[in-house]
């Protein structure tokens, strides 16, 4: 009789525990989150979202994948992947090619590109770029588009300056004076130069034109068929972004679990990476934008791409983004 009572009691306890923890009975949905480039502290929200359980709380088991932005956005558009981080120009150019991709979270408040020069070059405004040789990774991507936005806002044309493809060697190319100025990411190379003691001037693209930076991107099929998944992911991402902004030191420690060799850097190099993360936080979008404000950012990017010939025809700007999932 006592054995029967004990078994009954155990069954009751198991049922009560299961009722109090319903998520344990529901398997997580495994989803790839496609990031461009390589592991970096600028991706801190996604590492933090995994470690703090923000994604799992939303029913999602996030697996981070790194790769080429153009290849990844093609997979998103084809419905073979569901989520990626992409810059606004990539979304519009993909839609111009018939790929049904759409931004569902605006991650960056400011377009993250700028032009850096040594103080000795005396480049204080965009008009000072006339006659200068400017290094950039190549005539592609956010760096190229950001530079063209800055130049055109100052009514400069291609004949006013010389562009030189230098790959991702902006810091070395500038300090060895191979070029007069370099196109950089505000939160990366600018921080590296300043932290290493170089006096520089930085022209920010965001001061000249308000453009769409990095976004969480999905596709129209997923948005139509699985809006609950899109919203769960969007809210988990925004929660992760805010957590990093409010807890930078803890977040930096979490990054060490996801970025090879970060923990092994010298104190000086480690501080540079910490400053890169803090500078990234400064340009993130921590609260949802008003629809009209977000639309204008997309319209500005759209018009620039048309002017540059990177869009062959106008596309529907309203179709490029949704602002209903992150609030």
Could you write out the DSSP letters of every residue in 188-211? THHHHHHHTT--EEEEEGGGT---
**For the chain, first and last CA: distance in Å?**
56
d(CA 296, CA 290): 10
pLDDT digits (tens, 9 = 90+) for 220-247: 999 999 999 999 999 999 999 999 999 9
Question: How many CA atoms are closer than 13 Å to the CA of 220, on its beta-carbon side?
Answer: 11
Q: Show the DSSP H helices in the chain as ranges.
A: 2-20, 44-51, 54-57, 69-77, 88-96, 141-153, 170-175, 189-195, 220-225, 227-246, 248-255, 267-281, 291-308
pLDDT digits (tens, 9 = 90+) for 121-149: 999 999 999 999 999 999 999 999 999 99
Q: Kindly list the distances between the CA atom of residue 141 and the CA atoms of 114, 147, 167, 282, 305, in Å, as whole numbers in the listed order.
A: 13, 10, 12, 22, 11
Residue 124, by phi and psi: left (phi above 0), alpha (psi -120 to 50) or beta?
A: alpha
d(CA 54, CA 119): 44
pLDDT greater at residue 12 or residue 56: 56
Indicate if the pLDDT at residue 284 is higher than 60. yes
Indicate if the pLDDT at residue 9 is higher than 90. no
Which pLDDT score is estimated for 25?
53
Q: Please state the pTM of the whole predicted model.
A: 0.89
Decide: 251 and 44 in contact? Cβ < 8 Å.
yes
Q: Kindly list the distances between the CA atom of residue 178 and the CA atoms of 67, 172, 175, 317, in Å, as whole numbers in the listed order.
A: 30, 8, 8, 40
pLDDT digits (tens, 9 = 90+) for 180-226: 999 999 999 999 999 999 999 999 999 999 999 999 999 999 999 99
Q: Quick one: what percent of the chain has pLDDT higher than 70?
A: 92
Hey, what are 291's tokens? 């629809």
């Amino acid at each position: 009789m006592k054995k029967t009572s004990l078994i009954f009691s155990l069954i009751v306890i198991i049922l009560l525990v299961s009722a109090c923890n319903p998520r344990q009975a529901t398997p997580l949905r495994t989803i790839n989150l496609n990031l461009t480039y390589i592991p970096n502290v600028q991706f801190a929200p996604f590492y933090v979202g995994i470690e703090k359980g923000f994604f799992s709380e939303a029913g999602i088991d996030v697996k981070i994948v790194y790769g080429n932005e153009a290849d990844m956005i093609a997979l998103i558009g084809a419905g073979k992947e569901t989520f990626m981080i992409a810059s606004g120009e990539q979304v519009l150019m993909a839609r111009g090619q018939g790929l049904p991709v759409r931004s569902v979270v605006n991650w960056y408040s400011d377009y993250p590109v700028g032009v850096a020069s040594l103080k000795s070059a005396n480049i204080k405004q965009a008009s000072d770029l006339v006659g200068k040789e400017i290094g950039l990774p190549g005539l592609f991507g956010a760096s190229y588009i950001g530079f063209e936005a800055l130049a055109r806002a100052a009514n400069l044309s291609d004949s006013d300056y010389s562009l030189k493809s230098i790959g991702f060697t902006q810091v070395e190319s500038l300090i060895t004076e191979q070029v007069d100025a370099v196109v950089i990411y505000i939160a990366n190379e600018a921080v590296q130069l300043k932290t290493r003691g170089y006096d520089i001037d930085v022209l920010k693209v965001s001061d000249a034109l308000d453009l769409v930076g990095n976004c969480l991107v999905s596709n129209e099929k997923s948005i139509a068929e699985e809006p609950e998944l899109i919203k769960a992911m969007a809210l988990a991402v925004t929660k992760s972004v805010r957590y990093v902004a409010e807890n930078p030191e803890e977040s930096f420690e979490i990054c060490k679990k996801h970025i090879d060799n970060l923990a092994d850097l010298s104190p000086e190099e480690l501080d540079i990476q910490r400053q890169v993360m803090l500078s990234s936080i400064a340009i993130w979008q921590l609260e949802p934008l008003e629809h009209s404000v977000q639309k204008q950012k997309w319209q500005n990017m759209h018009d620039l791409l048309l002017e540059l010939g990177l869009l062959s025809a106008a596309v529907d700007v309203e179709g490029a983004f949704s602002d209903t999932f992150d609030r």
